[in-house]
Amino acid sequence: MTEFRTPYGLIGRKLSHSISPEIHKALGNPHYSLYELEPEELGDFLGDTRLKALNVTIPYKIGVIPLCAELDPLAEAIGSVNTLVRQENGKWKGYNTDAYGLRCMMRAGGLSFAGQNVLVLGNGGVSQTIQAIAKLDGCRTLTVLDLSGTEYTYDDLPRFFEQTTLIVNATPVGMYPHAGTSLADLRLFPNLRGVADVIYNPQRTALLLQAEELGIPYAGGLTMLVAQAKQAAEYFFSRSIDDAKIAEIGADMQRDAENIVLIGMPGSGKSVIGEALGRLTGRTVIDLDAEIVKKEQRTIPEIFAAGGEAEFRRIESEVTAEKSAERGVILVTGGGVVTQARNYAPLRSNGRIYQICRPTEQLSREGRPLSLGADLEKMAEVRMPLYRKFADAAIENNGTPEAAAAEIWRDFCAYTRSQWSEFEHAGNP
């Protein structure tokens, strides 16, 4: 039986990657624990009168409803509860704050359900909220796909290519540690005008990365997570919290969790700038070339000698995907990482990518198999378009490593704040 730890917390089945305690601590509640429960434990656990208020996640958002003596009207209408508050009579009242979080997420992405032909992927507890809010907010049509085929299965997806204008993913597909997967190829939806994904780890799922590539407005799940927690805390303690708190917490969490990725020509100074950035920020610096050597127990020249560039690129892509799953680190890439298009998604999924720029004649060749004896001008001619395609920003390395690191950090902090500007001022959506 799961033991009592604090009067507030989150109940679910698998919670090892939850960041809810961090959010609630930032909201002023340090007494918040993660309670992993098996289905048969749910009733007995909720009977512990020391518990005052709880959040609820997969797979119990529907299962807790019979254990509530009262439901908030919105939770009752939706048929899903993600917040429980013990009343003075000792019984639970159920609320749905996912609805508030969902509307905040849509607002942050410049999206709306009004007038849209909505396609929802998944039919669990959070999907119930999405379906209800889509209807309340005036969607034109609503279609739900899931594995069991409650309405339609994923095999029916082609039937909705033409009509769909808004897709919302309410499944765990694409979530860490299985990032990089998606249920839908957005290129097949000619009239698509928006994409939302409730997943928050990674920051950008494969679905959202494709939306970004196609220029389709999109919204990710971190906004929903922070906003629903804000409203849950309001119910927990019967007090109002300014919307500006969403911006404050969200920007801090995104800044702390998102990686800083350095790309650029061999010898452009990525490593020394990465080290300076590590000293400046206190972040762990991960050099992907060093990780390749560690993984293979061979030097990079030895890998090239044994298997050629193709073998090295294969290993490099494996290490890139593995290390990109880290959060809040500095990733220093090899100069040729951009030659493999498959490396973009893992690097961008949870990172902001900076191209380190340096004149070709100043590039170092030492210890770089492809640079030794190479025509760096021709190499740059091929690679520069690829660096520009990968990069979110470019940094000129024409001073000290410390100066370049400081410029990157200023940009990174400004960028993360800008992602939450919608909530910097008070007022509910």
Domain match, 269 and 401 both: yes
Domain match, 150 and 286 both: no
Q: How confident is the model at residue 428, as a pLDDT?
A: 46
Domain match, 284 and 401 both: yes
Domain finish residue from 75, 96, 117: 96
Domain finish residue from 38, 70, 96: 96
Quote the DSSP letter at residue 152.
B
Q: Would 37 be classed as within a structural domain? A: yes
Domain match, 355 and 406 both: yes
Domain match, 200 and 87 both: no
Q: How confident is the model at residue 199, as a pLDDT?
A: 95
Domain finish residue from 34, 67, 96: 96
How many angstroms separate the CA atoms of 271 and 285, rounded?
A: 9
CATH classification of the domain holding 377: 3.40.50.300
Domain match, 214 and 320 both: no
Task: Answer yes or no: pTM beyond 0.75.
Answer: yes
Domain match, 277 and 359 both: yes
Q: Would 166 be classed as within a structural domain? A: yes
Q: Would 247 be classed as within a structural domain? A: no
Phi, psi for residue 66 in degrees, rounded to 5: -65, -15
Domain match, 92 and 163 both: no
DSSP states of 158-186: GGGTTT--EEEE-SSTT-TTSTT--S--G
CATH classification of the domain holding 16: 3.40.50.10860
Q: Would 167 be classed as within a structural domain? A: yes
Q: How confident is the model at residue 373, as a pLDDT?
A: 55
Domain match, 379 and 265 both: yes
Residue pair 320/337 in contact by the 8 Å Cβ criterion = yes
How many angstroms separate the CA atoms of 1 and 188, rounded?
A: 48
**Number of compact structural domains in the chain:** 3
Q: How confident is the model at residue 149, as a pLDDT?
A: 81
429 residues of the chain, pLDDT tens digit each: 789 999 999 999 999 888 999 999 999 999 999 999 999 999 999 999 999 999 999 899 999 999 999 999 999 999 999 999 999 999 999 999 999 999 999 999 999 999 999 999 999 889 999 999 999 999 999 999 999 888 899 999 999 999 999 999 999 999 988 888 999 999 999 999 999 999 999 999 999 999 999 999 999 999 999 999 999 999 999 999 999 999 999 999 999 999 999 999 988 999 999 999 999 999 999 999 999 999 999 999 899 999 999 999 999 999 999 999 999 999 999 999 999 999 999 999 999 999 999 887 766 655 555 555 567 788 888 999 999 999 999 999 999 999 999 999 999 999 999 999 988 754 444
> Which among 370, 366, 353, 263 is positioned nearest to 310, based on CA atoms?
370
CATH classification of the domain holding 121: 3.40.50.720
Q: Would 408 be classed as within a structural domain? A: yes
Domain match, 148 and 203 both: yes
Full residue range of the structural domain in which residue 67 is found: 8-96
Q: How confident is the model at residue 429, as a pLDDT?
A: 44
Domain match, 330 and 299 both: yes
Phi, psi for residue 70 in degrees, rounded to 5: -150, 145
Q: Which residues form the catalytic set?
A: 61
Residues in the chain: 429
Domain match, 184 and 142 both: yes
Q: Would 426 be classed as within a structural domain? A: no
Q: How confident is the model at residue 374, as a pLDDT?
A: 65
